[in-house]
Amino acid sequence: MSGTATAAAHPARYPGAPAGQPTVDTWQEAPHNRWSFAHLGELLPTAAVTRRFPAAPEAATNRLDALIPRVPNLLERLEATYTDAFLVLRHNQVLAEYYRQGFAPDDRHLVMSVSKSLCSLVVGALVASGDIDPAAHVTTYVPELRGTVYDGAPTNRVTVQHVLDMTIHIDYSEDYVDPASEVQTHDRSADWRIRRAEDPGNTYEFLTTLRGNGTLGTFQYCSANTDVLAWIVERTSGLRYSEALSKHLWSKLDADRDATITVDSTGFGFANGGVSCTARDLARVGQIMLDGGIGPGGRVVSEEWIRSIFAGGSTDAMAGSSFSRIHPQGSYTRQWWCTGNERGNVTGIGIHGQYLWLDPQADAVMVQLSTWPEPDSGFFHGLQNRLLLDVGDALDASSTQAPIHSKEHIA
């Protein structure tokens, strides 16, 4: 096994950069300006100067005629779930597409925790190369986490697989609207919220503060786990997480646009929720899953990694969760949600209504990017899941009939 590490500096923002540099105070100074003038968005808020004006059509852009006859009230259901973008890819061809007024097909959208499922594919690539062993202890790769919840008891050590499957008890509240919750402290450390004086200075520091009772084997959704995986990715690849995401996934999609990821004061990518991309490019990720781990630019992950995800995780570990109330046979594995239903649907999910929905039975990928008024809602999850299931049923019905749309290959 390669990739075993001792405590080391974090990847530099550019080759030869001193630790922690450049900062907001030093980015204009040489030699930092050679890098920062081309990467200003990592240091200062930026706004797009769009090549289109107005930026999007006056009316919603949509091509839904392939589905409207077979999915009742489709347009109304998209509007009721605050949908910004909706796309159905079947047999690697665009079958249906919708964009709300003011949002365009090549606009990037924050995908929140669908970012976790993207991280899964980066980890999977490094598992295939032998750089990461899922059975290895987390602290083998990141010794800075010794003494934290990720260390575990001497006879009950936390492995990479535990982190992938989120089967660790952590003193971490994922209550997105509670200012006292750990997830809000996590956000502040990653510069997603205004930092308080007592907060850790960056994401790395925040992860070293986490504690728990050491129990393993029960599912607990915790966003910190994905950032631990990203730290392992950095340590084993020698790349910044944003670079590893490019090398092992995005560069192999034949994507229309670069994705973006938010970074903290050290340049560490917010792997658990910070990726933004177009609906079409996210659908390309789903197509890689359906194609057994191969993209236009070559293999991303092994077939075994894909098979393990579609096989699902432990339903016992998931018992009693809000997900299992919607999907009684549901589970979570390798940063993906597995419905356990007869269609074999697997999905990446992000708060406020982000879905990358895979339907192997119909050979289809569905992307729904929304902006629900609340972050996590059983009501809206139920509406959106029912819609995606109904689309799958409509695709089944259409497969025995004449073509229902002039299709467009996504590549």
Which of helix, strand or coil describes residue 409?
strand
Instruction: Decide if 113 is catalytic.
Output: yes
Q: Does residue 240 have a pLDDT over 50?
A: yes
Confidence band of 156 (pLDDT split at 50, 70, 90): confident
Q: What is the mean pLDDT of residues 8-12?
A: 87
Give, as one character, the DSSP assignment of residue 12.
P
Cα 271 from chain centroid (whole Å): 7
**308 vs 333: CA distance, rounded Å:** 8
**What are the pLDDT digits (tens) for 50-77?**
888 777 776 667 899 999 999 999 999 9
Tell me the sheet residues that pair with 90: 93, 364
How much is the mean pLDDT over the chain? 93
Given the residues 113, 115, 242, 324, select the one marked as catalytic.
113
Specify whether the CB–CB gap between 83 and 370 falls below 8 A: yes
**111 vs 353: CA distance, rounded Å:** 9
Specify whether the CB–CB gap between 399 and 362 falls below 8 A: yes
Closest C-alpha to 152, from 197, 213, 214, 205: 214
pTM of the complete model: 0.94
Q: CB neighbours (10 Å) of residue 130?
A: 11
Q: Which residues contact 160 (CB under 8 A, 6 or more apart)?
A: 123, 132, 133, 134, 135, 136, 137, 138, 141, 229, 232
Host H or E run for residue 124: helix 114-128
DSSP string, 254-296: T-SS--EE-B-TT--B-TTT-EEE-HHHHHHHHHHHHTTSEET
**What are the pLDDT digits (tens) for 89-144?**
999 999 999 999 889 999 999 999 999 999 999 999 999 999 999 999 999 999 99
Confidence band of 409 (pLDDT split at 50, 70, 90): low
**What are the pLDDT digits (tens) for 333-367?**
999 999 999 999 999 999 999 999 999 999 999 99
DSSP string, 129-156: TTS--TTSBHHHH-GGGTTSTTTEETTE
